[in-house]
């Protein structure tokens, strides 16, 4: 499949998703041969919208964007989820957040969200002390918007109560570069050939006009 065909299908599928036609978007994305990691990520998100959690995990878990996608798989396999969150935290390399806008995804991944979800996985496993420690660490990466959420979770762990998962918005997809999409149509620099009829009756000369024999 050529790059142009892939880019065109990617753009068409993203447009369908924007129109909430997720089934058609998934069909187009799935038809792309040798999809890149961003397209696989999109396929995983669309599977999640259809509640196909296993398919989403199989497709997205192998991609380089695992540090994002792991936020969106609330499967009740808590040990596996915990390992994924820990891997995501390592991928952040001490940064407070990663902004994916430059890569075509309107989403910011916050380290405090990863720690928060890791704490929830530990709470589900009955590891309340570790859950509390992760939430305390999350305070070091907090933003003003996230502070109230973390405080509530800290109070919940003290009472050994569960709290709400931070989920990735599954309708947010990677989109192709707008400039590349705008240049999809080939430009016709030469134009179409035109047949020009001579004004001279019985003129059968073909060639460069100045070389035409004079009669």
Q: Are residues 123 and 63 in the same domain?
A: no
Name every residue whose Cβ is closer than 8 Å to that of residue 212 and which is 6 or more positions away in sequence: 205
Give residue 188's pLDDT. 45
- 90 shares its domain with 162: yes
pLDDT of residue 63: 45
Q: Is residue 23 part of a domain?
A: yes
DSSP for residue 140: G
Q: What is the pTM of this model?
A: 0.72
Residue 81, C-beta contacts closer than 8 angstroms, at least 6 positions apart: 70, 73, 74, 75, 117, 121
pLDDT score for 155: 96
- 19, 100: one domain: no
> Taking the CA of residue 139 as centre, how many other CA atoms within 13 Å lie in the half-sphere pointing to its CB?
10
Judge if 44 and 65 occupy the same domain.
Answer: yes
Q: Are residues 80 and 162 in the same domain?
A: yes
Residue 159 lies in a domain: yes
Same domain, 20 and 83: no
Give a yes or no: residue 148 inside a domain.
Answer: yes
Q: Does residue 184 contact residue 7 with C-beta atoms inside 8 Å?
A: yes
Q: How far are the Cα atoms of 55, 172, 207 from residue 117, in angstroms, in the given order? A: 21, 20, 77
Please tell me whether residues 83 and 152 are part of one structural domain: yes
The reply to whether 56 and 121 lie within a common domain is no
Predicted local distance difference test score (pLDDT) of residue 51: 74
What's the pLDDT at 62? Answer: 44
Of the three residues 166, 195, 210, the one that is the final residue of a domain is: 166
In this structure, the answer to whether residues 55 and 88 fall within a common structural domain is no
Assigned domain for 195 exists:
no
CATH of the domain at 2: 1.25.40.10
Residue 103 and residue 180 in one domain: no
Structural domain contains residue 202: no
CA distance 3 to 204: 47
Number of domains in the chain: 2
Which residues are bridge partners to 109 per DSSP? 98
pLDDT along the chain (215 residues), means of 10: 89 94 94 90 85 66 47 66 86 89 89 93 94 95 84 95 87 87 64 54 53 55
Q: Do residue 92 and residue 151 come from a single domain?
A: yes
Residue 56, in any domain of the structure? yes
**Same domain assignment for residues 98 and 124:** yes
Cα–Cα distance measured from residue 85 to residue 159, given in angstroms and rounded to the nearest whole number = 23
- Provide the residue range defining the domain that includes 115: 76-166
C-alpha angle 170/175/178, rounded to 5°? 155
Q: Kindly provide the b/e burial profile for residues 125-150, where b requires at least 16 CB atoms within 10 angstroms of the residue's own CB.
A: eebbebbbebbebbeebbeeebeebb
Determine, yes or no, domain membership for 212.
no
């Amino acid at each position: 499949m050529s790059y142009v065909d892939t880019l065109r299908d990617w753009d068409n599928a993203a447009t369908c998703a924007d129109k909430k036609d997720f089934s058609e978007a998934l069909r187009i994305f799935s038809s792309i041969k040798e999809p890149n990691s961003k397209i696989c990520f999109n396929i995983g998100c669309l599977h999640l919208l259809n509640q196909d959690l296993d398919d989403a995990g199989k497709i997205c878990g192998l991609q380089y964007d695992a540090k994002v996608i792991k936020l969106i798989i609330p499967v009740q396999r808590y040990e596996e989820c915990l390992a994924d969150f820990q891997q995501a935290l390592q991928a952040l390399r001490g940064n407070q957040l990663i902004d994916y806008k430059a890569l075509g995804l309107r989403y910011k991944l916050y380290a405090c969200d990863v720690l928060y979800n890791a704490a929830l996985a530990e709470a589900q496993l009955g590891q309340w002390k570790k859950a509390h420690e992760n939430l305390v660490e999350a305070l070091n990466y907090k933003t003003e918007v996230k502070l109230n959420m973390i405080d509530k979770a800290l109070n919940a762990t003290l009472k050994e109560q569960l709290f709400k998962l931070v989920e990735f918005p599954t309708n947010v997809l990677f989109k192709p570069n707008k400039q590349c999409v705008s240049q999809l149509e080939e430009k016709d620099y030469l134009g179409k050939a035109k047949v020009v009829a001579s004004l001279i009756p019985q003129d059968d000369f073909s060639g460069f006009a100045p070389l035409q024999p004079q009669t």
